[in-house]
A = this chain, B = another copy of it.
Amino acid sequence: MLASADTDIRAIERFLYREAALLDEARWEEWLALYTDDCFYWVPSVMGQKDPVETVSLYAEDRMRMEMRIIRVTHPRAFSSDMPVRMSHVVGNVMIDPDGAASDGGTNPRADLVVRSTAHILEFRKEDQRMFGGIARHWLRCTGNDWKIAMKRIDLINCDAPMEGIQLFL
C-alpha cells in the first residue's frame, strides 16, 4: 500500500522531471506533447487568485495560445530572444495534493489527480539572473500507461511584483 503510493510518486516525479528537462532544454514540441489537447496553463497575477476570468493573469493560455507562444519563441525574428533566455528548474517537494482540485480556478479540468510541487526556477538573460519560486500544481490525466498534463498552475511568490519581461514558459 505505502509501497505502491511510493511507486506512484516516483513515477510522477519522473514525469515532472521530464517536463522540467524539456523546458530547460527548450524542446518545446516535446514539452507541449506532455499536455492534453484541452490543456490550460495558468500563472495568476494575484496571490491565491480565484479564477482566470475576472482578473488578469501572467499566463492564462489554452493550447492554441501555448502553440502561438512556441511558434513565436522559436521564430528567427523573435529578437527579444536574440540573447537567448536560459532556465534551470528544480522541481521540489513533489506531493499528491488531495485538495488540489479546489485551486483550478473554476476551469474544472478532467484529471485523475493533482500533484503539488515547489518550483525554483533560475533564469538567465543577457548578463543577469533572476529567481522565480512558488507552488506548482499539475492536473494529471492518466492516458493508457502514461500521464498527460490537463492543467498547470504556478503561484509565484512575487506574482504581483513589478516584473521585467518573461519570455518562456515557467
Binding site for B on A (CB under 8 A): 2-3, 6-7, 9-11, 14, 17-18, 20-21, 24, 47, 86-95, 116, 118-120, 122-124, 127, 129, 131, 133-135, 157-158, 161-162
Complex CA distance for A91 and B94, rounded to whole angstroms: 10
CB pair B157–A122 under 8 Å, yes or no, is yes
How many monomers of this protein are in the complex? 3
For A21, the chain B residues whose CB sits under 8 A away are 93, 95, 116
CB pair A7–B7 under 8 Å, yes or no, is no
For A135, the chain B residues whose CB sits under 8 A away are 24, 88
For A122, the chain B residues whose CB sits under 8 A away are 120, 131, 133, 157
Tell me which of A119, A124, A129 has the highest count of chain B C-beta atoms within 10 A of its own C-beta.
A124
CB pair A157–B93 under 8 Å, yes or no, is no
Q: A142 to nearest B CB, angstroms?
A: 15
Q: A129 to nearest B CB, angstroms?
A: 6
Q: A128 to nearest B CB, angstroms?
A: 8
Complex CA distance for A166 and B2, rounded to whole angstroms: 38
Closest 9 A-B residue pairs measured CB to CB?
A: A88-B133, A122-B133, A90-B92, A86-B157, A17-B93, A124-B157, A6-B10, A124-B158, A127-B161
Point out the residue from B6, B14, B89 that lies within 8 Å of A7, measured CB to CB. B6
For A93, the chain B residues whose CB sits under 8 A away are 17, 20-21, 89-91
